[in-house]
Structures are given as structure tokens and as C-alpha cells.
Amino acid sequence: MGGDALRIATRESPLALWQARHVAAELCAVHADLTVELVPMTTEGDRRTDVPLSEIGGKGVFAKEVQRAVLEGRADLAVHSAKDLPALTPDGLVIAATPPRADVRDALVGHGLADLPTGAVVATGSQRRRVQLAHLRGDLQFVELRGNMATRLGRVVDVDVDAVVVAAAALDRLDLGDRITEYLDPTAMSPQVGQGALAVECRSGDHDTASLLSSIDDADTRTQLTAERSFLVELGGDCSLPAGAYAQVDGPMVVLRAVLAPAEWPTHPAPLCHVEVRGDDPVALGVQAAVALRDAIESLESA
């Protein structure tokens, strides 16, 4: 880095800043002479909290401006929640590090699933969460959920809703784990692709930064993300798709469990298709799972 500070682009939300500082601390623990500074910014997704994500560009709305700062040389790297990244990495960037993954589970705040009253209102803007919760409790009603974590949890405090669904890792990182009423088992509630993981991007030709970042890369997390993101790429989707996937490393093998529902269905709850595949090639597994689920959905829609 030639003695200059390593510049980390990040959103300005409390969670994003925590994640950027965590990556900075991990890097400084390995490279004692490293100087790091944050380049915080507010993205369109942060500014327009009154609009569903699906209407303003999906998950990429949180990443594009941070990625642009790296591409334009205003920062050397960007730290993202892996679940917020679009399926395809933009030209000129590379995911150079995937630190060890945190909790992948979704969590309920307010009431546990069995304790929710009949017809309870649950806040979540995620179609993936809605379709799976509807299969667990067909009587539930859903409303949108946007804003930072304090805003989201405030919906329960204000008795606006009976429960909110959030990523357990986000609450843990913000020291709010004590607010969790119930963790949802990933075998019953498939996580979003990349949930609980961080993805650190740098410019594809910046070998010095990539070399620094390789010191905090976790091989198992990278394998998991490779399988899950391959699944999403094959589906051609983003967070608006009612799809989830979770890969686990089992020795030399990878086990990928995935779920998909039709984008639109006239009945409630919509059909929900599951698949589990196992192999040693994470990219091929992601493709295999997506093809199997897409075929299953097409069979349902043509029946």
C-alpha cells in the first residue's frame, strides 16, 4: 500500500459500520503495521426506506454505490453483507475475502412461532421469509419491514406488529441477541444466500490489496458462498425471488439444501419445493439445485 491507509468503503448504517470495523480489526491483527480508514456512504436503499426493495432494484441497491467507490479508486475495498450482493460480481471487482461465517439463522423478535396469535401480523419484506413462514403457519399476515435495526425492532415495541423477522447474525453483531425470541432452524426456514457471511471486494487488478485480504479468507465460508451464489446465478434472481439456500462443508463434500416457491401463485400458502444435493464441486452443486427446483416449479405451474 506504499504507506498509505487502506480505504474501506461501507454503508453508514450501524451494522455496516460494525462489519467494516470488524474486517479492519481482523486485517490489523494479521498486519500490525497496517493503517485503515473507513469511507462511509449512504446508498439509495438507505435513503428510500419507505419503498419496498423490489421496487428500487432489489438487493443491489445497497451495494452499487459502495462498489462504485472501489471501481473509481475512492476506496481500496468494500465490505458487504454477502446476502446483500447481487448474484453476479460486477466487471472489475472480485470477492477477495470471505471471513468466517456467523450464525446463518433467521430469528423472530416479539413472539415465538407457536406463540403468535391466530392471524398474527409479521413484518418482513422478504418473499423468501414470507413463503416459508406461511407454510409453517398458514394463518399469518405479512407487512413490509425496512429501515435500520432500531427501526425494525421498534415495530414490536410500538405494538405495530406481533413479530419481526431478522437475521440472527445482525442482532448478534449489534449486541442485540437478547432481543431474540426464537431462532428458526435452517432446515425449516432456509436462509437467504450468503446470510451470516461477509464478502470483501477489491478491484480485480489490485493484487496488493487482494494479497492482504487473502489473510482473512476462510476456506469453508468461501466454499459455502460459492455453492449458494452459483445457485442464485443459475436462477437468475436476487432477493425478490422466494428462494433460499444453505451450503455446509462435510469433509471433502458439500451439502446444499435449497428451497424455491413460484413468484406468483393464486393460493395461500404457495407451493414450496425443496432439494438437497451433495458433491465436491460447489459451482456444479449450485447449478444442479437450481435446475432441479426450477423444473419442479415449472411442473407445478403447467399442471
List the catalytic residues.
84
Q: How far apart are CA 285 and CA 288, in angstroms?
A: 5
Is the distance from CB of 97 to CB of 24 less than 8 angstroms? no
Q: Report phi then psi at 211, rounded to 5.
A: -65, -40
Residue 217 to residue 28: CA distance in whole angstroms:
14
Q: Which amino acid is at 42?
A: T
Tell me how far apart the 2 most distant CA atoms of the chain are, in Å: 64
Residue 253: how many CA atoms within 13 Å on its side-chain side?
A: 7
Q: How far apart are CA 74 and CA 25, in angstroms?
A: 21
CA-CA distance, 247 to 227, in Å (whole number)? 7
d(CA 292, CA 286): 10
Between the CA of residue 103 and those of 177, 183, 247, what are the distances in Å? 11, 10, 13
Residue type (1 letter), 29: A
Cβ-contact 221, 227 below 8 angstroms? no
Cis before 269 (ω within 30): yes
Compute CA distances 204 → 2, 3, 37, 135, 210, whole Å.
19, 21, 21, 42, 8
Single out the residue of 99, 41, 56 nearest to residue 239, CA to CA: 56
